[in-house]
Amino acid sequence: MINVVVLGAGNVGQHLINAFIKADEVSLVQVYNRTLSHIAQFKQDTIITDDLSALAKADVYIIAVPDQAVHKVSEAMPRVNGVVAHTSGTTPMSVLSKHNRRGIFYPLQTFSKAITPDFASVPFLLESQAASDLLVLQDLAGTLSDKIYDINSEQRRQIHLSAVMVNNFVNHINYLAFNQLEKKGLPTDLLKPLMEETLHKLTYMSPYEAQTGPAKRGDEVTIRQHLALLDHDTNKQVYNILTKSIREHYGKKL
């Protein structure tokens, strides 16, 4: 049985709390939040507190607060026996206070309040200062997922950059594509099967092999027609730079 305290109840915090409550091998001994009312719903399942000096004993303390608050919360914690790990993709382990043993417990996924994540499919990126603490973090992550990776802070930063691309940038491009249709009163549902197949193709081939389209084949007529349909400067810039980037990778110049 692994004893855990979770600090913070944002999207990541709440989903981890709910998952730990359900996990047989985990005892969620306490949840901390600055604002007690935000964690009132966990009262039946664990002890809740807004007092950092009253933290319970645990094997792992998970700090799931916004990136810029991780340092402050870890500094404000008392000396504890367990390992103190944060859940941020970008923040190095070194921001954690030195007065406790440090670690990283980063679930690589996008979380929404309304959607209960399937942690079984979520990769957990783990790191620890002391080798023995990595085993504890591995055991804890292993109660939720089989996808466990030992990743140092520098690697995690690289992965977070790529995660921003495939999540934030891809979602924004989807938004721009939907927006173009909505402005013309056309149904965005039209695009869904194509979006699904775009992803599905990567089961069979690499994104490099999967690339198609006017930029790759150097189809200037279509590219010019598309640019004429975009009525916003930034949209034209997005189109141009992605077209340029594709051309650079496939060796076709305008």
Question: Within positions 155 to 184, which residues make up the interface with a second copy, using CB under 8 A?
Answer: 155, 157-178, 180-181, 184
Which DSSP symbol is given to 129?
A: S
Contacting a second copy within 190-249 (CB under 8 A): 190-199, 201-202, 204-208, 210-216, 219, 222, 225-226, 229-230, 234-235, 237-238, 241-242, 244-246, 248-249
| 62 close to 74: Cβ distance less than 8 angstroms | no
What 3-state DSSP class applies to 164? helix
> DSSP letters of 21-76?
HH-TTEEEEEEE-SSGGGGGGGTTTSEEES-GGGPPP-SEEEE-S-GGGHHHHHHH
Contacting a second copy within 27-46 (CB under 8 A): none
Contacting a second copy within 50-79 (CB under 8 A): 67
Give the nearer residue to a second copy in terms of CB position, either 79 or 113.
113
Question: Binding a second copy by CB under 8 A: which of 3, 97, 109, 153?
Answer: 109
Angle, helices 233-250/170-183, rounded to nearest 10 degrees? 130
Provide the minimum distance between the beta carbon of 131 and a second copy in the complex, in angstroms, as a whole number. 21
Contacting a second copy within 136-155 (CB under 8 A): 147, 149, 151, 155
CA distance 90 to 37: 28
| 65 close to 7: Cβ distance less than 8 angstroms | yes
10 binds a second copy (CB under 8 A): no
Site size toward a second copy, by CB under 8 A: 85
